[in-house]
A and B are shown apart, each in its own frame.
Chain A
Amino acid sequence: MYNKRIVIPGLAVFVLFVTFPFWYNGLSAGPVPKLELPPGGEKECVAPVSEMRAKHMKLLNQWRDEVIREGKREPITVGGKEYIKSLQLACMECHSNKEKFCDECHVYVDVKPYCWNCHISPAEIEAKNKETH
């Protein structure tokens, strides 16, 4: 091997640099986010917890496409309860605290879903409508 003296320390520096975020935080991923479960005490969602945890974004996209593009706005019934296909009008009915439910995980994993650029959370509605009254 040529230039062993340069290549091997160089590789070592590279690996250290790439893994910087991990060892800088002491190989810990920080405190796991704690979600606020629905304040109203609802236990059932439109799908089991594991599925919602993994696929809620796909479900929301599916609802969005069905409602807006295909005109299929009829509510879905899960476990005897009717849910309309809406983030703002269905999800937020139970998970009424966006800051302690949605944001908790999204901030932790550093994703920035653009749902809330248009859809308004209960807290935002309350803040706005209080200021005008």
Chain B
Amino acid sequence: MDNNRRKFLKMAGATALAGIGAPAVVQLTASPALASSSAGHGAAAGAHGEAGHGEEAHSGIRLGLLIDMRKLYGKPELIDKAINACNKAHNVPKIDSKKSEVKWIWKTPFPNAFPEHSHYHYPKQAKDNQFPVLCNHCDNPPCVRVCPTKATFKEEETGIVAMDYHRCIGCRFCMMGCPYGARSFNWFDPRPYIEEYNPSFPTRMRGVVEKCTFCDERLARGEEPACVEAVKETGAFVFGDLNDPNSEIRKILDKEPTIQRKPALGTKPSVFYIV
């Protein structure tokens, strides 16, 4: 090695030049690619942001439920009928404890279901009646976003927010994420609390979170969800594809004023109510 001061200074100068010049070179050569990718992100974010209100972003089939409360006022037994049909179809345990109870579809007072609509002097019939509530199968479901194992996920073909109990690790992030309280945790083995087994559906085990799945197992057999079928004769529950302009549910939605639970959160629920 015969490095001397002159050689060292030459090397240092060249290195400094390369160091200063490098960002410029990178910017020149890579700018189109960078620009397009950042634009892509921007567009995606924009679409998501706008999707909070108004037009739906989901295309294809998006199953939804419309609950016409006008047909249920003063008839809580009809709501109970729907709830019992669901509990029976899905082996939902009956646990008498606010902390441990398991709910797929249940009754709740108007201000709890619709805090954004419970202003002074809201209709008396809404005050006097309980409202059936269930998983909203949101188009922008927070529970899916927080699930670390993708145990809960959006079925692309139907828009259903489905559960894969095989994958659930019981972390309960989804229960924190869900603004509707539609998810229940199995603090213990639910089997002793199930009154009678439906032989064609499994139970759940200790340590998983469960919720309404819009009866995707029944839909696959060409049947309607259990709650819809239970009160079929009243027409209070209307189930169908929200994206099909000719579906029964869509025709009612186009005509009647409906409300949703906590729409301002931007979760875009698929369950609608006529109050």
Complex Cα gap A125–B205 (Å) = 16
Contact A118 B205 (CB under 8 A): yes
> Could you say which of A69, A120, A129 contacts B153, with CB atoms under 8 Å apart?
A69
B205 and chain A: residue at smallest CB distance = A117
Q: In the complex the two chains form, is B197's CB within 8 Å of A125's CB? A: yes
CB atoms of B196 and A120 under 8 A apart: no
A31 to B125 alpha-carbon distance, docked (Å): 71
Residue of A64, A125, A132 touching B199 (CB-CB under 8 A) = A125
B211 to chain A, nearest CB (A): 14
- Chain A residue nearest to B208 in the complex (CB): A118
**How many interface residues does A have (CB within 8 Å)?**
18
Q: Which residues of A lie under 8 Å from residue B164 when comparing CB positions?
A: 68-69
Segment with Cβ contacts to A, from B63-71, B75-83, B155-163, B229-237: B155-163
Contact with B along A67-83 (1 / 0, CB 8 A): 01101010000000000
Q: Mark B195-215, 1 if CB is under 8 A from A, else 0.
A: 111011111111000000000
Q: Which residues of A contact B (CB under 8 A)?
A: 64, 68-69, 71, 73, 88-89, 114, 117-120, 122, 124-125, 128-129, 132
Which 3 pairs between the two chains have the least Cβ-Cβ distance? A117-B205, A73-B220, A118-B202
Known: A68-B162, A117-B206. 14 other contacts (CB 8 A): A64-B166, A71-B157, A88-B199, A88-B200, A88-B201, A88-B202, A118-B165, A118-B202, A118-B204, A120-B199, A125-B197, A125-B199, A128-B194, A132-B196
